[in-house]
Amino acid sequence: MKIVSVKIDHLSTCTFCNAKDFDVKVGNIYIIRTEFGDDIGKICKQVHEIKGTKKLKNKKLAELIRLANQEDFKKIKKLETKNQEALNIAKEKVKKHQLSMKIFTARYMFDEKRLMFYFSAENRIDFRNFVKDLASVFKMRIELRQVSQREEARMIGGLGICGLEQCCCTFLNKLDAVSIKMAKDQNLSLNAVKISGNCGKLLCCLAYEYETYKEIKKAFPKENSMVKIDVKGLNKEKYIGYNIPSSGEMTCLVKGCNIIKKSVYLEIDDGHIIEVKLENIKKGGVKIGTK
């Protein structure tokens, strides 16, 4: 079986499709037959042969029907207008039924046999009467699908704080969990505005280098532990007026570290903070415990 990955507009990730005997190319637009009806999708990955994969063979895959033509593209334009009109009507109905939900996307299937609405809500919503009201207006099958705030941001799209298109809209297929600990361990600002994405949740990119930081930090002394340093390695001119002996060793309290610069911030006896290269901390001089 020849399998190809296809991005269907209303889906946030690529889905597998039976390519049959089509000579497909990345970027081509095809009419696709899914279990819900005919739809349209864009090829996002080349064909690859699947042999002996029972899991995929037993699964009812969507399949390519034909390459989209000019008439199909004209219809897509018309459907985009109808999608916006349907969204406006649905928003009015939400107000009428006084529902605590945010409908952000409406989408007709390509064969116009089904109309789907995507929404986000903090709690479960009883929208049975709402769906009946919509069905009486559009005279077709109505589906409401609740998605998370992260999925909502992915479906709407946008630019991240880096100025590039959101990662979830480009290459992230799976939205892994992100924790505030990842920001802390990378010494990032804990300002919610700086470490949150358009979805209001923590930035997905906090996880990209987390494992690397975690591995590197193993070589650093733990915060609030005591370490010994060789005074000879210090830049005395930088710390004029600090209570630093002229020679020998001194014991300091670890206050933090800078992984990029490979340095450690230490508190000396008089309360001043000094920055010392990791290599200048004496091996074996770390005492487990706090000051």
CATH (domain of 114): 3.30.300
50 has a pLDDT exceeding 70:
no
Instruction: Encode 137-149: b = buried (16+ Cβ within 10 Å), e = exposed.
Output: ebeeebebeebee
What residues make up the domain containing 24? 2-68
Domain shared by 237 and 207, yes or no: no
In a domain, 25, yes or no: yes
For residue range 139-183, list pLDDT tens digits in order. Answer: 999 999 888 888 888 888 889 888 998 988 888 877 888 999 999
Domain shared by 8 and 58, yes or no: yes
Domain shared by 79 and 141, yes or no: yes
Chosen domain end from 39, 68, 97: 68
Give 181's contacts (C-beta < 8 A, 6+ positions apart): none
What angle separates helix 128-138 from helix 70-97, to the nearest 10 degrees?
140
In a domain, 285, yes or no: no
Question: Does the pTM of the predicted model rise above 0.95?
Answer: no
Domain shared by 128 and 182, yes or no: no
Residues facing 277 on adjacent strands: 263
Structure confidence at residue 287 (pLDDT): 42
1 has a pLDDT exceeding 80:
no
Residue type, 65: I
Q: Is there a contact between 127 and 144 (Cβ–Cβ < 8 Å)?
A: yes
- Rounded Cα gap, residues 63 and 15, in angstroms: 11
In a domain, 21, yes or no: yes
Domain shared by 64 and 84, yes or no: no
Residue type, 155: M
As for how many domains the chain has, the answer is 4
Q: Is there a contact between 23 and 94 (Cβ–Cβ < 8 Å)?
A: no
- Rounded Cα gap, residues 65 and 72, in angstroms: 13
Place of tokens 């946008």: 158
Domain shared by 189 and 245, yes or no: no
In a domain, 152, yes or no: no
Domain shared by 84 and 63, yes or no: no
- Rounded Cα gap, residues 187 and 263, in angstroms: 13
pLDDT band of residue 85 (cuts 50, 70, 90) is very high
pLDDT band of residue 82 (cuts 50, 70, 90) is very high
Mean pLDDT computed over 79-92: 94
In a domain, 206, yes or no: yes
